[in-house]
């Protein structure tokens, strides 16, 4: 069965060997006569799958029991709300770095529920085409929230040493989670929708420093929106997204087998193949500041919208798919997540050069 060159921004491509393992176990998980989708989340068998996923995540992130790893439904959007609701107590201020649509949404959600907020930095002045390098943290800051990779605009904070260290750091890592090593201990809370780098849609990973949470959380929140509910119940207060978490476990094993350093090295090489074409061309134009460009979502424009349409259509003939830009910004975008094979990036780079030759 032939697979396409999948550059979808999300849900994105998953490792083929993981999909094959899922296929193998779909009807009868490890010969037990039922699918993962059909078993109780409280069964011993599923408990093993879930715990193994949590433990693998901790090993990959190099954290111990001082962090809780939970999996929640509701997508990263629900985390925009939960981070603000749980972690901005009265008198404290949520600080936000605005670098695109998702960062804006997190900020607006905090305002919507009446929390005090402060914009620490924004790149809205140039339509989010670059990343701010200086951050203004307010007095009584509850946390500093940022988005590590801006999926729509194609920028990525590749060096987290630039953030102030005197304020708890919260990060939406949805679109570059586990694409490179991170020093997890710098973060008080990390959240990431699974559907780009670590699994199918339906589960959002939340990694919380337990001490930070205990000392800063707001009490008495609605049950399902209170992190405490899910931390205390080990994500089993209600039915978790069982199938997604199972696949995440397999993807984490796939990542662990290679090591995050290798994953990062491959991601750099893959992105380079496509950026090289853009850099050596006056036909393609990158949309972001050179030093801020993302290794996950490569955004570029062609000389006209007509050519962009033609480019996307002709690419499909070579089974290159998912390269239209986000509907809000247009243009083109190639998402080269962890599971995207180098071969696909080579095919796209080759196609870009051919298309330029013919259409220039």
Which residues are the active-site residues? 102, 172, 196
Q: Are 96 and 106 in contact (CB under 8 A)?
A: yes
Q: Report how far residue 180's alpha carbon sits from residue 196's, in angstroms, rounded to the nearest whole number.
A: 14
End-to-end CA distance of the chain: 35
Token readout for 235 is 């994500």
For residue 162, which phi and psi values (nearest 5 degrees)?
A: -80, -10
Contact in structure between 117 and 96 (CB atoms under 8 Å)? yes
- Judged by CB under 6 A, the stretch of 75-83, 135-143, 256-264, 344-352 that binds ligand PMP is 75-83
If binding is defined by CB under 6 A, does position 172 make contact with ligand PMP?
Answer: yes
Binding segment (CB under 6 A) for ligand PMP, from list 69-77, 208-216, 286-294, 337-345: 69-77
Binding of ligand PMP by 123 (CB under 6 A): no
Tokens, residue 251: 């993807």
Q: Which of 11, 73, 75, 303 binds ligand PMP (CB under 6 A)?
A: 75
CB of 148 to ligand PMP, least distance (A): 8
Q: At what angle do helices 242-258 and 16-25 cross, to 10 degrees?
A: 140
Cα-Cα-Cα-Cα torsion 223, 235, 247, 75, nearest 10 degrees, comes to: 30
Q: How far is CA 79 from the centre of its chain?
A: 13
Residue in the shown chain whose Cβ atom is closest to ligand PMP: 75
Does 116 engage in binding with ligand PMP (CB under 6 A)? no
Q: Please, how many CA atoms are within 13 Å of residue 319, restricted to the half-sphere of its CB?
A: 8
**Can residue 147 be called a binding residue for ligand PMP (CB under 6 A)?**
yes
| Residues 176-215: x where in contact with ligand PMP by CB under 6 A, - otherwise, as a string | -----------------x----------------------
Query: Quick check: 10 binds ligand PMP (CB under 6 A)?
Result: yes
Q: Which residue has the tokens 């998980």?
A: 29
Q: Does 294 bind ligand PMP (CB under 6 A)?
A: no
Phi, psi for 38 (deg, rounded to 5): -110, 0
With CB under 6 A as the contact rule, the residue among 54, 68, 76, 84 that binds ligand PMP is 76
Pick the stretch among 43-51, 56-64, 70-78, 313-321 that binds ligand PMP (CB under 6 A): 70-78
- Contacts with ligand PMP by CB under 6 A lie at 10, 75-77, 102, 147, 151, 172, 174-175, 193
């Amino acid at each position: 069965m032939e697979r396409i060159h999948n550059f979808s921004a999300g849900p994105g491509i998953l490792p083929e060997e993981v999909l094959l393992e899922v296929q193998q176990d779909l009807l009868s998980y490890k010969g037990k006569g039922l699918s993962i989708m059909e078993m109780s989340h409280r069964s011993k068998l599923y408990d093993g799958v879930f715990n193994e996923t949590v433990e693998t995540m901790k090993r990959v992130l190099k954290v111990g029991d001082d962090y809780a790893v939970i999996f929640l439904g509701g997508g990263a959007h629900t985390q925009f709300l939960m981070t603000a609701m749980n972690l901005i107590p009265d008198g404290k201020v949520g600080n936000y770095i605005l670098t695109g649509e998702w960062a804006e949404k997190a900020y607006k959600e905090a305002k919507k529920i009446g929390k005090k907020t402060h914009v620490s930095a924004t790149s809205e002045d140039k339509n989010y085409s670059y990343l701010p390098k200086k951050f203004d943290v307010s007095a009584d800051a509850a946390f500093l929230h940022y988005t590590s990779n801006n999926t729509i605009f194609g920028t990525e904070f590749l060096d987290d040493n630039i953030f102030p260290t005197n304020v708890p750091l919260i990060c939406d890592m949805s679109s570059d989670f586990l694409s490179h090593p991170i020093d997890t201990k710098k973060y008080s809370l990390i959240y990431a929708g699974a559907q780009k780098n670590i699994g199918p849609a339906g589960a959002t990973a939340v990694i919380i420093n337990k001490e930070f949470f205990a000392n800063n959380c707001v009490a008495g929140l609605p049950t399902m929106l209170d992190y405490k509910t899910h931390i205390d119940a080990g994500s089993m207060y209600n039915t978790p997204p069982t199938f997604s978490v199972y696949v995440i476990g397999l993807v984490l094993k796939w990542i662990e087998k290679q090591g995050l350093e290798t994953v990062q090295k491959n991601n750099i090489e893959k992105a380079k193949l496509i950026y090289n074409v853009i850099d050596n061309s006056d036909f393609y134009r990158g949309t972001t500041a050179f030093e801020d460009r993302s290794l996950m979502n490569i955004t570029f424009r062609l000389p006209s919208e007509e050519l962009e349409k033609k480019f996307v259509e002709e690419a499909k003939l070579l089974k290159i798919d998912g390269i239209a830009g986000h509907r809000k910004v247009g243009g083109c975008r190639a998402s080269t997540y962890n599971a995207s094979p180098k071969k696909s990036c080579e095919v796209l780079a080759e196609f870009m050069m051919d298309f330029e030759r013919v259409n220039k």
